[in-house]
Amino acid sequence: MTAIPARPYPYDFVPGHTALVVIDMQRDFIETGGFGDSLGNDVARLEAIVPATARLIALFRRNRWPVIHTREAHKPDLSDCPPSKIRRGNPSLHIGEVGAMGRLLVMGEPGNQIVDDLRPVEGEIVIDKPGKGMFWATGLHEQLQAVAITHLVFAGVTTEVCVQTSMREANDRGYECLLIEDATESYFPEFKAATIEMIVAQGGIVGWVTPLSALEAALP
């Protein structure tokens, strides 16, 4: 066990029982022409965390600790996508419609793939999730239990939506959660800042937060 400097107090990192979860670092959210862009967002904010996220992934790979990647993805017939989700937000293109990188948020489409610099390698778990949280309708909790994972380190996008939802879901299932603050981002900087304060409030009601440099300094 290694104590990682963090807010609101040090986080106990337990090798052999800790996995990294990289949330939704997919082209649809990070590149021009994807779903995030169709909503009028500045995707460059999200692209900027790719180098830090790559360093974080490399740290886990060097130590042979589990790495999990998620993608927000729907079946081609959209049977797992509520009509209300398709309608919401008044985007220029809706989920399932054809954009610059194929059909938006649809499994197998070019835009639904993880960005090249963070591409999963053989043996890493890739979860296609139909919702914001990583546990709903994915079977991930059972996979983590099968390999005795009790602690989760989080990165990815967006901080206030899929990352926070997944951390809250994990918290309710008993996982000890650490968010790497420079490996997560939002289209709205004030939303990221507010989410971080929500996570660490009241003695870490959702989890812990720390910069990547603190984790790198404390681990092999």
Distances (CA, A) of 166 to 13, 109, 134, 159, 170: 19, 23, 5, 10, 6
Q: Based on the residue annotation, tell me whether 129 is a catalytic residue of this protein.
A: yes
Do 181 and 210 form a contact (C-beta atoms < 8 A)? yes
> Among residues 24, 28, 132, 177, which one is catalytic?
24
**DSSP 8-state assignment for residue 104:** T
Q: Based on the residue annotation, tell me whether 85 is a catalytic residue of this protein.
A: no
Q: Based on the residue annotation, tell me whether 80 is a catalytic residue of this protein.
A: no
Distance in angstroms (rounded) separating the CA atoms of residues 62 and 121: 13
> Among residues 28, 37, 81, 129, which one is catalytic?
129
> Among residues 37, 81, 162, 177, which one is catalytic?
162
C-alpha neighbours within 13 Å on the C-beta side of residue 104 = 25
Distance in angstroms (rounded) separating the CA atoms of residues 137 and 143: 13
Q: Which residues are catalytic?
A: 24, 129, 162
